[in-house]
Amino acid sequence: MAKVTHREEPGDSSATPGRRKRRRTGSYAAADERRRLILESAVGHFAQWGYHNSSLPKIAADVGISPTGLLHHFGSKRELLMAVLEARADHAKQTFYVGMGEPDGMDALGMLRQMVAQTEFNLTQPGLVQMYAVLSAEAANPEHPAHAHFRERYDTILGRIERTLRHGVATGLVREDVDCAGTAREILAVSDGFQVQWALSDGQWDMLGAFRSYLDRLARTITRSGRGLD
C-alpha cells in the first residue's frame, strides 16, 4: 500500500510550521521575561554594591538561573550594565525629553515642570535612583565601563537644557542676562545631588518637594515676569 503523506496547505491550522511558530512565540516571550528579571535584579545589585563589586553568579541566583544561563542573555557583566543603562536612557528620551531643546518644543517653564514630573516618576523606581547615584560616582573613572555613557548623558541633558533656556531668551520668556550654560549645569548638579541625599536618607527625605521648590525659585529668578511654576 502506498504511503499517504499529509500535505500541509497554507491555511491548514494543523500544519507543523504553525505549531512551531506558536512554540517559538512562547519561547521568545519567556526569553523576554527572563531578560526583564535579569535587568531588574542587576539594578538592585548595582545600586547596593556598585559595578565592580556586583557578582554575576549572585544576580543569576536571584533570578533562579545559572551564571551560564545569564550569559546566554547578556554576554558579560559589562554588557549587562550597558543594557540596564540604555533601557533607562531610552525610557527617559521617550517620556521626558521629547521636545526639550527643540526649536518648536517646550518652553523653559514647561521644561522645568517636566523635570518635576520626571523626579516624581523616579521616586517610583527607587532602585534606579540609587543605582544612578552609585554608578555616576564610580563612572568618573575613565576606566569604568559606564564612563562614556555618563559623559554622553551629561552632555546631552546639558545641551537640551541650555538650548531651551536660550530659546527662552530669544522669545522673551527668559531674561537676557541669564547664564544659560551655567544655569543648565546648576540644574543638573542640584538634581543629581538631591538624588544622592535622597538615597542616603533611605528615601525618607522629601526630594520631590525640595526639587520642586528649587525649580520654582529658579523660574522666578530667570523669567522676565518673575513667574514661577504655577
Of 84, 106, 121, the last residue of a domain is 84
The per-residue pLDDT for 131 is: 85
| Residue 109 confidence (pLDDT) | 94
Q: What is the pTM for the complete model shown?
A: 0.75
So what's the pLDDT on residue 22?
44
Q: For 79, phi and psi rounded to 5 degrees?
A: -65, -40
Of the three residues 49, 84, 119, the one that is the final residue of a domain is 84
Whole-angstrom distance, CA of residue 151 vs CA of residue 134? 15
pLDDT at 142: 93
**What is the per-residue pLDDT across 112-134, written as a single tens digit (0 to 9) for each?**
999 999 999 888 888 888 888 88
Nine-digit cell string for 200: 542616603
CATH code of the domain containing 215? 1.10.357
The pLDDT, as a whole number, for residue 203 is 87
* 11 falls within a domain: no
User: What pLDDT, on a 0 to 100 scale, did the predictor assign at position 9?
Assistant: 39
Domain final residue, candidates 55, 84, 113: 84
Cα 164–chain centre separation: 21
Can you read off the three cell numbers belonging to residue 108?
Answer: 523653559
The per-residue pLDDT for 20 is: 44
Q: Which residues pair with 174 in a beta bridge?
A: 223
Size of the chain in residues: 230
pLDDT at 18: 44
Q: What's the pLDDT at 90?
A: 80
pLDDT on residue 25: 58
**What pLDDT is stored for residue 28 in this prediction?**
78
Residues 230 and 129 in one domain: yes
Residue-number span of the structural domain to which 26 is assigned: 19-84
Q: Which residues pair with 223 in a beta bridge?
A: 174
pLDDT at 103: 64
In a domain, 194, yes or no: yes
Does 7 fall in a domain?
no
Which three-class secondary structure state does DSSP give residue 139?
A: coil
- With CA atoms as reference, report the closest residue to 46 among 12, 6, 80, 90: 80
| Distances from the Cα of 163 to the Cα of 61, 107, 220, angstroms | 46, 10, 19
pLDDT of residue 104: 67
Find all residues with CB under 8 Å of 173, minimum gap 6, and list them: 107, 108, 109, 223, 224
**61-85, pLDDT tens digit by residue?**
999 999 999 999 999 998 998 888 8
Pick from 148, 67, 38: nearest CA to 46: 38
Interacting residues of 34 by C-beta distance below 8 A, sequence separation 6+: 63, 65, 73
Under-70 pLDDT residues of the chain: 1-26, 99, 101, 103-104
CATH number for 49: 1.10.10.60
Tally of domains in the chain: 2
Angle at 135 between CA 133 and CA 138, to 5 degrees: 115
